[in-house]
């Protein structure tokens, strides 16, 4: 799973949510808000005989990046799949609302970093989780309207599925690794509902070809592709180059971008077919090359955009 | 409710709304009180595909072009997002997210946005449509859900009967209008038997759009007791930590 060339460096995929935060921010600068000592836990898991966590799998706070204040939220994919639920969602929504309200004050932040690692809505709290996703989207867009970029960092074990994928698409920018996956309905759920001939979830190569970071980056569904080490995530988070505003011009540009994608690739059945139509050299080999070679090939496509 | 019945009940003064290709509804209507509104929607429990999402978003962006603050009413009877490998490969999340963003942008630019759910809406399709409007109304026939109970049973590995029993004690996970109203997602429930829908719509259109108050609503109704308090605590400590 861990690419050979970063096997000796701390891996994002293998790290806990707290380790990821520590690796992205300036050392020792993180202050957690409503941390585990407050013991704000899910009141609903007991109904299902499931153990709660003191942080409900969501860590929020503020810290510094290159000395600039930032707000940060990280989902712990190892607890209940990093799911959106009543408490975990409200912590994120509270952080985003505070960040939006801070714009123009002495408390303002230069960016909000969302370290997504989520299977989507927590089904044991489905209604609260669904609403939390909707509230998060509204709050993310309010932060962007206040002129503060929201950056999604995706490369954890749980990926960004369900509502998490919609939240990602509403951020100013999506940063992804090869191991990162984004999809609305997970392959297992599609298989359960529509059969293995529609989507064989045990075909790992297929799953990665459809949902993985390389496919997303080539199609324009992720804006930055990076190696899977923690240092690369820090470097990506520091990249402040003109994130798109959330306004009518950006939405019109996104409309055109997404319309064109359907026109060009709407009849394709698998990603190598798309890559061949993009005139990429050796489309079948895209999954085989190493990260450095892939990053070079991605840059050569000239597909970078700010229409998000 | 059929689209025709719903339209007749909401807009007795007249409308031009038709159900077109892909079961996409669009047109204009005269609300009671004389306000002209744009009407968009989905009919016949049609799953939300990238094509439907981008068409609806494009029509909303066209409405925004006029910059006339015309209210937008979204009439929704969808299913979940369409579940195919092809749609996911093409980045369905971006199409759903784009639709949610454009609806939100319309609200921010002064267009009153009202979602009227008259059929099913589930999962991502629910988030990308009516949940993205400023005010969500459920009328007769509405059945919102995140996931149906049999699917929740599969994922949680609990017998369906056990889930059904638990659903009687809490609104936190069960599908339906009542549980989603209790958690704050649905602002108002209208039944045709309980009076004229067109006047109620006129009242909602005339009201100042609320900020996102769904967590407060959920607390007041007792269906989501913690969310608002937790969000407020985080925000307060964010300000306190800033120094």
| pLDDT confidence of residue A6 | 61
Interface contact A33-B242, CB threshold 8 A: no
User: What does the pLDDT look like over B136-186, one tens digit per residue?
Assistant: 999 999 999 998 888 888 888 889 999 999 999 999 999 999 999 999 999
On whether the CB atoms of residues B151 and B83 are closer than 8 A, the answer is: no
Q: Is A139 helix (H, G, I), strand (E, B) or coil?
A: helix
Smallest Cα–Cα separation from B223: which of B189, B158, B173?
B173
Q: Do A166 and B81 touch (CB under 8 A)?
A: no
Residue-averaged pLDDT of chain B:
95
Mean local confidence (pLDDT), A127-150: 98
* B91 vs A189, more confident: B91
- pLDDT tens for each residue of B13-40: 999 999 999 999 999 999 999 999 999 9
* Interchain pair B100, A184: CB under 8 A: no
> Chain-centre distance of CA B241, in angstroms?
36
Task: Kindly report the number of other CB atoms within 10 A of residue B192's CB atom.
Answer: 14
Contact call for A246 and B105, based on CB within 8 A? yes
Residues facing A225 on adjacent strands: A176
Which residue among A86, A101, A261 places its CB closest to the CB of B224?
A: A86
Burial (CB < 10 A; 0-12, 13-18, 19+), residue B101, is: buried
Extended beta strands in chain A, E state: 31-33, 58-65, 68-75, 112-116, 150-154, 160-161, 173-176, 182-183, 224-225
| A121 within 8 A of B175, measured Cβ to Cβ | no
% of chain A residues with pLDDT over 70:
98
Contacts of A114 (CB under 8 A, 6+ apart): A73, A92, A140, A150, A151, A152, A153, A167, A168, A171
Percent share of chain B, pLDDT over 90: 90
Cβ-Cβ contacts under 8 Å, A261 against chain B = 90-91
* Residue B7 scores a pLDDT above 70: yes
Q: How confident is the model at residue B242 (pLDDT cuts 50, 70, 90)?
A: low
What was the ipTM of the complex prediction?
A: 0.98
B146/A198 Cβ within 8 A: no
In order of their start, the domains of chain A are 4-243 (3.90.226.10)
Residues of B in contact with A190 (CB under 8 A): 83-85, 88
- Better-scored residue on pLDDT, A242 or B131: B131
Half-sphere exposure of A109 (CA within 13 A, CB side): 29
What does the pLDDT read at residue A4? 57
Residue B195 has pLDDT above 90, yes or no: no
Q: What is the pLDDT of residues B93-102, one digit of tens each?
A: 999 999 999 9
Compute the distance between CA of residue A264 and CA of residue A209 in angstroms, rounded to an integer: 18
Task: State residue B243's pLDDT score.
Answer: 43
pLDDT surpassing 90 at residue B126: yes
Domains of chain B in sequence order: 3-142+186-210 (3.90.226.10)
Tell me if B41 sits within 8 A of B25, measured CB to CB.
Answer: yes
Local structure of residue B208 (DSSP, 8 states): P
**Contact criterion met (CB below 8 Å) for A289 and A218:** no
Is the confidence at residue A178, as pLDDT, over 80?
A: yes
Residue pLDDT, tens place only, A19-76: 999 999 999 999 999 999 999 999 999 999 999 999 999 999 999 999 999 999 999 9
* Beta strands across the sheet bearing A31-33: A31-33, A58-65, A68-75, A112-116, A150-154, A173-176, A224-225
- A-B contacts (CB, under 8 Å): 278
Residue A296, H or E segment: helix A291-301
For B61-80, the pLDDT digits (tens) are 999 999 899 999 999 999 99
- Whether B230 and A94 lie within 8 Å, measured CB to CB: yes
Decide if pLDDT at B241 tops 70: no
Using CB atoms within 10 A of its CB, is residue A78 exposed (0-12), middle (13-18) or buried (19+)?
Answer: middle
Mean pLDDT of chain A: 95
Taking the C-alpha atoms of residue A207 and residue A155, their distance in angstroms, rounded to an integer, is: 15
Q: Which residues in chain A have their CB less than 8 angstroms from residue B102's CB? A: 251, 255
| Number of helices followed by number of strands (H, E) in chain A | 11, 9
- Quote the percentage of chain B above a pLDDT of 70: 99
């Amino acid at each position: 799973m861990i690419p050979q060339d970063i096997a000796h460096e701390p891996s994002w995929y293998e790290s806990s949510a707290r380790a990821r935060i520590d690796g992205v921010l300036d050392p020792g600068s993180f202050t957690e808000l409503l941390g585990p000592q407050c013991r704000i836990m899910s009141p609903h898991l007991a109904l299902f005989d499931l153990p709660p966590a003191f942080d409900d799998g969501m860590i929020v706070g503020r810290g510094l990046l290159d000395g600039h204040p930032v707000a940060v939220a990280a989902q712990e994919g190892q607890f209940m799949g990093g799911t959106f639920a009543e408490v975990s969602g409200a912590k994120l929504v509270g952080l985003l609302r505070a960040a939006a309200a801070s714009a123009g004050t002495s408390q303002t932040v230069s960016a909000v970093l969302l370290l997504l690692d989520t299977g989507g809505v927590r089904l044991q709290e489905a209604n609260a989780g669904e609403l939390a996703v909707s509230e998060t989207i509204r709050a993310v867009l309010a932060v962007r309207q206040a002129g503060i970029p929201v950056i999604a960092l995706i490369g954890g074990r749980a990926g960004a599925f369900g509502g998490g994928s919609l939240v990602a698409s509403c951020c100013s920018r999506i940063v992804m690794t090869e191991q990162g996956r984004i999809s609305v309905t997970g392959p297992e759920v599609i298989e359960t509902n529509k059969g293995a001939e529609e989507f064989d979830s045990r075909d790992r190569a297929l799953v990665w070809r459809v949902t993985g970071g390389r496919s997303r980056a080539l199609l324009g569904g992720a804006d930055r592709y990076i190696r899977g080490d923690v240092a690369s995530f820090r470097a990506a988070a520091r990249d402040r180059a003109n994130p798109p505003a959330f306004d009518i011009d950006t939405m019109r540009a996104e409309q055109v971008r997404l319309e064109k994608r359907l026109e060009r690739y709407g009849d394709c059945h698998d990603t190598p077919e798309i890559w061949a139509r993009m005139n990429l050299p050796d489309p079948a080999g895209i999954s085989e090359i190493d990260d450095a070679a892939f990053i070079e090939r991605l840059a050569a496509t000239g597909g970078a955009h700010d229409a998000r | 409710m059929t689209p025709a019945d719903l339209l007749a009940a909401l807009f007795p003064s007249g409308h031009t709304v038709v159900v077109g290709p892909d079961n996409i509804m669009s047109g204009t209507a005269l609300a009671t009180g004389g306000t002209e509104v744009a009407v968009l929607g989905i009919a016949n429990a049609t799953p939300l595909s990238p094509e439907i999402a981008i068409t609806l978003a494009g029509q909303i962006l066209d409405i925004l072009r006029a910059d006339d603050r015309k209210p937008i009413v979204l009439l929704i009877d969808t299913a979940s997002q369409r579940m195919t490998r092809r749609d996911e490969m093409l980045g369905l999340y971006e199409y759903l997210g784009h639709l949610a963003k454009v609806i939100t942008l319309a609200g921010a630019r002064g267009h009153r946005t009202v979602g009227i759910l008259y059929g099913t809406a589930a999962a991502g399709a629910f988030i990308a449509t009516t949940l993205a409007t400023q005010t969500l109304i459920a009328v007769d026939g509405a059945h919102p859900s995140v996931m149906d109970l049999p699917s929740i049973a599969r994922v949680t590995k609990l017998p369906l009967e056990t889930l059904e029993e638990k659903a009687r004690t809490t609104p936190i996970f069960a599908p339906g209008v009542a549980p989603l109203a209790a958690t704050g997602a649905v602002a108002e429930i209208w039944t045709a038997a309980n009076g004229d829908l067109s006047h109620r719509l006129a009242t909602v259109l005339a009201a100042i759009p609320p900020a996102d108050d769904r967590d407060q609503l959920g607390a007041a109704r007792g269906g989501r007791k913690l969310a608002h308090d937790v969000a407020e605590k985080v925000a307060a400590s964010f300000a306190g930590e800033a120094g």
